[in-house]
A and B are shown apart, each in its own frame.
Chain A
Amino acid sequence: MATDAMTTDAAALARQWMDADAPASPESYLQAGRRRFLRNRVGLAALGVLGLLVVTAVAAPVLTTYDPNVGVPADRLLPIGADGHLVGTDEQGRDMLTRLFYGGRLSLIAGLTPVLIATVIGTFLGSIAGYLGGWVAAIVMRTMDMFYAFPAVLLAIAISASLGPGLVNVIISMTIIYIAPIARVAEAATRKIVTAEFIEAARLTGAGTPRIIATQVLANIFSPIFVYASGLVGLSIVIAASLSFLGLGVKPPDAEWGFMLNSLRGTIYVNPWVAALPGLFIFATSISFNMLADALRDALDVKD
């Protein structure tokens, strides 16, 4: 090229001033998100409440000496503040606080697990559909659309009913209803970035589709999916409790908040406020997850 001599000088010059200042490790995307989250008081408070609920559920055997499943018939339906029973007893004379602690285990598992599994499956389906487009997307997404023709809770009830009662079946049925919306979010987010030049650059390296999805796509669709899924957890806790409330979840004598609420339903004329307690725990968990989700959305700065 004619201008070789000149360009070398110019490039060298350019290098000189570009080198001048490059601090070693600037803040990454997730670090920035964490910093913003730690400034959000509502979010931290919600995290605190959830932490407490998890601790009481996990450490229940340490925190109380009562058996969650065996009661003392003579101590049936004691009111809140009764001697030895801080928040009373249930219709079988079992300590309420003990059962509320133990109940958190199944309630949290039943609420969280479906969201986790559905997030994995939905992200998988949605990112593949969004990346490949064409007939693959058409088949996957039209199938997902079918699930939108049902009121979600009703579908979960119908699936649970046909699978038969049980915690695992509740988890399966709820997983099924969450896959469609998560796949939609993942597909939309993937479609948004699939035409980006960095995807073409990755294809030029000779990397295959699974590798491109894993290394280039997933990190970029993570935050909308994460924000959506975390917003789903609050609802999921309520739906899981609803299914148990309807008798589709745990079998007696296991403790689970929704189920406890149902079995105490008949006692509201005798011992009303104890009967309302499991609902309070469901509500506290659900609202904490919702507030946490809002805080995470703000921290990750995702615009809907």
Chain B
Amino acid sequence: MTTTALERHATADEPGRPPLLEVKGVSKRFPVRLGLMKKGYVSAVEDLSFTVKPGTTFGIVGESGCGKSTAARLILGLFDVDAGDVLFEGRNVVSARRMPNIKEDSRALRKHMQMVFQDPHSALNPRASIGEIVSFPMKVHGYPKDERRERTQWLLEQVGLHANHASYYPHQLSGGQRQRVNIARALALSPKLVVCDEAVSALDKSVQAQVLNLLQDLQAELGLTYLFISHDLNVVQYVSDEVLVMYLGQAVEVTSAERLYAEPLHPYSQALLASIPKIGLDDEPSVEAPRLEGELPSPLDPPSGCRFRTRCPVAMDVCAEERPPMVEAAPEHHVACHLYSEGSVEPLAI
């Protein structure tokens, strides 16, 4: 098999509309010092692939430390990748290979990929006014002064702030207001893709709902595509069309939000779902939901084969030996687990 199921899925789907973002086999290791001479590597992201269709919301969910924030930064070119490629509208913006013109291309293209950051405290320059913060990206891209002022005002109003807020400083705003500024800045260059990295995690529940609604509202108005990253499965499910479940740097399951909710296949996904309180009454999980036990293994020395096997209630011998390939167990439902094979959602007899 030369192409993975996921890649086939991406190209086969809606031939008229090419994917906005294609992530192909992206990996990243960080060097760490273990002692005076010893050096080790933390495997943050390993062979990550997925595609995002324009106008949709693609969610990535996983425990903190699973590499999802790193993945976001790799896609946006904030870190260099060790392996793999990222294509935006079919053009390479990030690559481990040396390619001519990628620098100029990606600088122009990256304008269309912006990010809403997690921490409302550290995401805004404390010494800059809100107006300066929101207009900075436009300044970098040479927008004329009048246009900058006008657009800043428009953006602030778009995210539910007042134009007067432009003269405020970050510390004079509430967490929710700061997050709105964060969003306004991400929209300043009229991006097509907005990566939301735990964009609501630091907020109170009630404010979370407001900001999520604002994001959805803006998506409808501006035709945005979101890559929505969170540890909170509830939040991801609420906003996403498709969801990728990540564990210790690897994708374990990719499918639509509805299917993941209704019929999670990977034991890890099942455990994640079981750990959140459900609202439905007769909503029986399709598989006996295992609880997550034990600690997340150290990414310094990830388990061999399937990285989840040390915490998996149904781990088999093969799990330690072979990394399970991503298979399309059901239409539009991909899972990386030795329990499943291509086209079969029935777990193999153990």
Is there contact, CB below 8 Å, between A11 and B213?
yes
Is there contact, CB below 8 Å, between B127 and A220?
yes
Give, as a whole number of angstroms, the nearest-CB distance from B198 to chain A. Answer: 11
Q: Does A113 contact B (CB under 8 A)?
A: no
Q: Does B201 contact A (CB under 8 A)?
A: no
Give, as a whole number of angstroms, the nearest-CB distance from A199 to chain B. Answer: 8
Is there contact, CB below 8 Å, between B216 and A205?
no
Is there contact, CB below 8 Å, between A220 and B111?
no
Per-position 1/0 for B39-71, Cβ under 8 A of A = 000000000000000000100000000000000
Q: Does A303 contact B (CB under 8 A)?
A: no
For window 3-44 of A, CB contacts with B under 8 Å fall at 3-4, 6-8, 10-11, 14-15, 18-19, 22-26, 28-29
Q: Does B219 contact A (CB under 8 A)?
A: yes
Is there contact, CB below 8 Å, between A3 and B76?
no
Per-position 1/0 for B253-266, Cβ under 8 A of A = 00000000000000
Is there contact, CB below 8 Å, between A206 and B111?
yes
Q: Does A62 contact B (CB under 8 A)?
A: no
Give, as a whole number of angstroms, the nearest-CB distance from B87 to chain A. Answer: 18
| Chain B CB within 10 A, most for which of A18, A197, A204 | A204
Give, as a whole number of angstroms, the nearest-CB distance from B105 to chain A. Answer: 12
For window 210-226 of A, CB contacts with B under 8 Å fall at 211, 215-216, 219-220, 222
Tally of A interface residues using CB under 8 Å: 36
| Chain B CB within 10 A, most for which of A4, A8, A25, A205 | A205
Q: Does A74 contact B (CB under 8 A)?
A: no
Is there contact, CB below 8 Å, between B141 and A205?
yes
Knowing A19-B162, A198-B123, A216-B125, say if A1 contacts B219 (CB, 8 Å): yes
Per-position 1/0 for B209-232, Cβ under 8 A of A = 110111011011000000000000
Question: Residues of A contacting B275 with CB < 8 Å?
Answer: none
Task: Using CB atoms, name the residue of chain A closest to B122.
Answer: A196
Is there contact, CB below 8 Å, between B117 and A201?
yes
In angstroms, Cα B126 to Cα A165, docked, is: 46
Is there contact, CB below 8 Å, between B126 and A14?
no
Question: Of B22-30, B164-172, B277-285, B308-316, which binds chain A?
Answer: B164-172
Task: Using CB atoms, name the residue of chain A closest to B172.
Answer: A26
Is there contact, CB below 8 Å, between B220 and A18?
no
Please pick, from B161, B209, B216, the residue contacting A18 in the complex, using a CB distance under 8 A.
B161
Question: Residues of A contacting B192 with CB < 8 Å?
Answer: none
| Chain A CB within 10 A, most for which of B124, B210, B238 | B210
Question: Residues of B contacting A145 with CB < 8 Å?
Answer: none
In angstroms, Cα B172 to Cα A283, docked, is: 42
Question: Residues of A contacting B110 with CB < 8 Å?
Answer: 204, 206
Is there contact, CB below 8 Å, between A220 and B169?
no
Give, as a whole number of angstroms, the nearest-CB distance from A227 to chain B. Answer: 15
In angstroms, Cα B218 to Cα A8, docked, is: 9
Is there contact, CB below 8 Å, between B213 and A10?
yes
Question: Residues of A contacting B219 with CB < 8 Å?
Answer: 1
Is there contact, CB below 8 Å, between B165 and A10?
no
Q: Does A188 contact B (CB under 8 A)?
A: no
Q: Does B190 contact A (CB under 8 A)?
A: no
Question: Residues of B contacting A67 with CB < 8 Å?
Answer: none
Give, as a whole number of angstroms, the nearest-CB distance from B30 to chain A. Answer: 13
Q: Does A137 contact B (CB under 8 A)?
A: no
Knowing A204-B76, A206-B110, say if A26 contacts B167 (CB, 8 Å): yes
In angstroms, Cα B107 to Cα A22, docked, is: 36
In angstroms, Cα B160 to Cα A200, docked, is: 24
Q: Does B136 contact A (CB under 8 A)?
A: yes
Q: Does B73 contact A (CB under 8 A)?
A: yes
Q: Does A265 contact B (CB under 8 A)?
A: no
In angstroms, Cα B137 to Cα A204, docked, is: 9
Question: Residues of A contacting B172 with CB < 8 Å?
Answer: 26
Please pick, from A15, A24, A29, A205, the residue contacting B127 in the complex, using a CB distance under 8 A.
A29
Please pick, from A8, A29, A222, the residue contacting B169 in the complex, using a CB distance under 8 A.
A29
Please pick, from B123, B127, B167, the residue contacting A201 in the complex, using a CB distance under 8 A.
B123
Is there contact, CB below 8 Å, between A198 and B115?
no
Task: Using CB atoms, name the residue of chain A closest to B76.
Answer: A204
Q: Does B233 contact A (CB under 8 A)?
A: no
Is there contact, CB below 8 Å, between B210 and A211?
no
Q: Does B307 contact A (CB under 8 A)?
A: no
Question: Residues of A contacting B160 with CB < 8 Å?
Answer: 11, 14-15, 18-19
In angstroms, Cα B212 to Cα A93, docked, is: 83
Question: Residues of B contacting A4 with CB < 8 Å?
Answer: 216, 220
Q: Does B32 contact A (CB under 8 A)?
A: no
Is there contact, CB below 8 Å, between A204 and B78?
yes
In angstroms, Cα B57 to Cα A19, docked, is: 28
Is there contact, CB below 8 Å, between B126 and A200?
no
Please pick, from B126, B189, B220, B238, the residue contacting A8 in the complex, using a CB distance under 8 A.
B220
Is there contact, CB below 8 Å, between B169 and A22?
no
Knowing A29-B127, A197-B123, say if A14 contacts B167 (CB, 8 Å): no
Is there contact, CB below 8 Å, between A22 and B125?
no
Q: Does A202 contact B (CB under 8 A)?
A: yes
In angstroms, Cα B169 to Cα A198, docked, is: 14
Knowing A18-B177, A203-B78, A220-B127, say if A11 contacts B217 (CB, 8 Å): yes
Q: Does A268 contact B (CB under 8 A)?
A: no
Is there contact, CB below 8 Å, between A14 and B124?
no
Knowing A25-B167, A216-B125, say if A200 contacts B117 (CB, 8 Å): yes
Give 21 pairs: A residue, B residue, CB < 8 Å, sorted on A: A1-B216, A6-B213, A7-B212, A7-B214, A10-B213, A14-B160, A14-B210, A18-B161, A18-B162, A25-B167, A26-B167, A29-B126, A196-B123, A197-B122, A198-B124, A200-B73, A201-B115, A205-B111, A205-B140, A215-B136, A219-B125
* Interfacial residues, chain B to chain A (CB-CB below 8 A): 57, 73, 76, 78, 107, 110-111, 113-115, 117-119, 122-129, 133, 136-137, 140-141, 157, 160-162, 164-165, 167-169, 172, 177, 185-186, 189, 209-210, 212-214, 216-217, 219-220, 238-239, 241
Which 5 pairs from chain A and chain B are nearest by CB? Answer: A22-B162, A219-B127, A205-B137, A197-B117, A197-B123
